[in-house]
Chains A and B, each alone.
Chain A
Amino acid sequence: MTANLVNILMGGVFHAAILFLVAAGLQVVFGVQKIFNLACGSFYALGAYTGVSAVGYFTAHGGPPALFIIPLALGGLAVGLVGVVVERGLLRFVYDRDETFQLLLTFALVLMLEDLIRMTWGTAPVSTGGLYLNYGQARILGATVPVYNLIVIAASLAIALGIGWLLSRTVFGRIIRASADNREMAEALGVDMRWVYVRVFTLGTMLGTLGGALVIPATAAMSEMGIELIVEAFAVVVIGGLGSMRGAFVGALVVGVLRSVAISVYPELEMLLIYLIVIAVLIWRPRGLFGAAAA
């Protein structure tokens, strides 16, 4: 009984750890640039495929399988640099437009990235095989949990703390918060917004691609994984509140664990339950649990 419960809970927390990374990327971009990035799920998929390729290259060239997590994370982070291209090449043209157009531009990215992934990696699912078992299994209260999952959970927690430190303790963090709060004022005080936007968007992209890379040893990469994840990430930020990091953290835990419980108790309910919660939150508390003033 406890073993079963721990299994469900750990599965949920693992999923939450990944969801948090993607949702954090969504939040930081929304907070500063006021753009709801529908393509965050596509970046996640891009990270996943790149992770598979990076690990494949690493093991094919004699890298020790136990160290596969290094090329995995590096590949995930490196492909996040595509954020620079997207920001400079597309997004910078629409900052002063109506948000409908911003939303549609990110939808255009969703379409393009989906097919770019299909062109590069094909339509069949790809995976890293059973590599993650290299780290063995841990026994927690009678349940068996892959150690890899624990590593990802720990890494996600560390990143959450790192983001907290970045936002509250560093100069760049202060600039981010100031820009999110009042863009004109920050500009008047000498902040170069172009510079802030490039870095913030790239940071958001990298969080998404890293999330995709880290999830992949535990599953397989499929071309639809991006458009499926975006609706979950969207549920996370609605529940937590748009633009709030703490909200992303709590929202990810809620969505991750609930999904895991629903799958094992009553599978038909799985995502239905989460969307119903999203609707309830939007109706009773549109700001979400940790959101700032309602827009």
Chain B
Amino acid sequence: MRTPVVLSLVGIAFLGLPVVAPAYYVTLMLPFMAYGVVLLGLNLLFGYTGLVSFGHALFIGIGAYTGAVLTTHLGVRHMELILPAAALAAAVVAAPVGALCVRYVKIYFGMLTLAFGMVFYTFLLKFYKLTGGDEGMRMLRPYLLGSEWTGYSKTAYLIGPYYYFSLAVLVLATLLMWRIIGSPFGLCLKTIRDNPLKAESLGVSVPRYRWYAFMISAVYAAVGGALLATPTGNVDPTLAYWTHSGNIVFMVLLGGFGSFFGPLLGAFAFIFLQDTVMSVFPYWRLIFGAVLAFIVIFAPGGLMGLFARRRRPVEVSRA
């Protein structure tokens, strides 16, 4: 009833935005869409499986560096190849890392993911010859749909073809995630979150399902990371730093981890709020820290929770 209307309005707004909005705001939409993909995956782990990763920036880093290595060193410029390569690289790393991490829950899961994230960060920082150290690596402008888009200036390329390409990736990622969450697999994850013992006794292999969720979220993060690298033009180790992991968890919470579209709203609010705050006050972390504290204490359901409060209170209690 209401949801389809809202979704089609949002869809029209997204399609028409580059035509009507100033270029600056269109370029801000690019990190939003990249983080949107990351957060869809992160929320599968956080909101739907109940595991909070404090090292997820690891996979953003993997995706971004895959893009940079492919474009600058290996001469692979097609985004249609870069994204699957990023996903593959993330899956290869996430398989063993996830298998170890999902044996733990809560704070131990968080600590283990943080440690793995920092291993990768240190590797990026210290192995200068391979990774460019703290200066990072350039991400060259990728080809889209086989075309180089040579006639386009940097901005025209970003707000034109790249914008629509990112939008298509985001829409595909959203549809796929919608299917995953609605599938029996998605229902199993929710059962595991709410009552792991019961899930186990119903025949759900809890560690294996957690591991699948971890892999999927890692792949999403890497695809988002690769998308993020192009507008930045440069990738550096801070992408994998633990505070970046904290920031993306913050985005999910800001939007509302209890709902499907919450993380997307969170990414949007985070990017635009950050831009607004930074333009008037250089210390955005102070404001954002206060916002985060406010959300944690008074509105744990996030922005979505504020909208939906009357219909369905978000349950937050010590599990």
Contacts of A231 in B (CB 8 A): 114, 118, 242
Q: Is the CB of A279 within 8 A of B297?
A: no
In the complex, whether B272 has a CB less than 8 A from a CB of chain A is no
Min CB–CB distance B248 → chain A (angstroms)? 11
Q: Pick the contact of A283 from B100, B107, B127, B285 — CB < 8 Å? A: B100
A contact patch SS? helix
Q: Is the CB of A108 within 8 A of B289?
A: yes
Cα–Cα, bound, A231→B120 (Å): 14
Q: Is the CB of A111 within 8 A of B100?
A: no
In the complex, whether B202 has a CB less than 8 A from a CB of chain A is no
In the complex, whether A141 has a CB less than 8 A from a CB of chain B is no
Q: Is the CB of A101 within 8 A of B106?
A: no
Q: Is the CB of B286 within 8 A of A112?
A: yes
In the complex, whether B317 has a CB less than 8 A from a CB of chain A is yes
Contacts of A93 in B (CB 8 A): 297
In the complex, whether B104 has a CB less than 8 A from a CB of chain A is yes
- In the complex, which range does the number of interface residues on chain A fall in? 35 or more
Cα–Cα, bound, A294→B110 (Å): 14
Contacts of B296 in A (CB 8 A): 94, 97, 101, 104-105, 108
In the complex, whether A119 has a CB less than 8 A from a CB of chain B is yes
Cα–Cα, bound, A43→B16 (Å): 48
Mark B96-116 against chain A: 1 for CB-CB distance below 8 A, else 0.
Answer: 000010011011101110111
Contact A98:B286 (CB < 8 A) given known A104-B292, A105-B297, A108-B296: no
Cα–Cα, bound, A113→B286 (Å): 7
Q: Is the CB of A272 within 8 A of B115?
A: no
Nearest B residue to A109 via CB reads B289
Q: Is the CB of B297 within 8 A of A286?
A: no
Contacts of A109 in B (CB 8 A): 289, 293
Cα–Cα, bound, A112→B46 (Å): 24
In the complex, whether B90 has a CB less than 8 A from a CB of chain A is no
The contact sample of 27 A-B pairs, CB cut-off 8 A, is A98-B317, A98-B318, A99-B107, A100-B46, A100-B52, A103-B52, A103-B110, A104-B253, A104-B296, A107-B249, A108-B290, A108-B293, A110-B243, A111-B288, A111-B292, A112-B289, A119-B283, A231-B118, A231-B242, A238-B111, A268-B126, A269-B126, A275-B115, A275-B122, A282-B104, A286-B108, A294-B108
Q: What residues of chain B have their CB less than 8 Å away from a CB belonging to chain A?
A: 46, 52, 54, 100, 103-104, 106-108, 110-112, 114-116, 118-119, 122-123, 126-127, 242-243, 246, 249-250, 253, 283-286, 288-290, 292-293, 296-297, 300, 316-319
The 8 closest A-B pairs by CB, nearest first: A112-B289, A111-B289, A108-B292, A115-B286, A115-B283, A108-B293, A111-B285, A115-B285
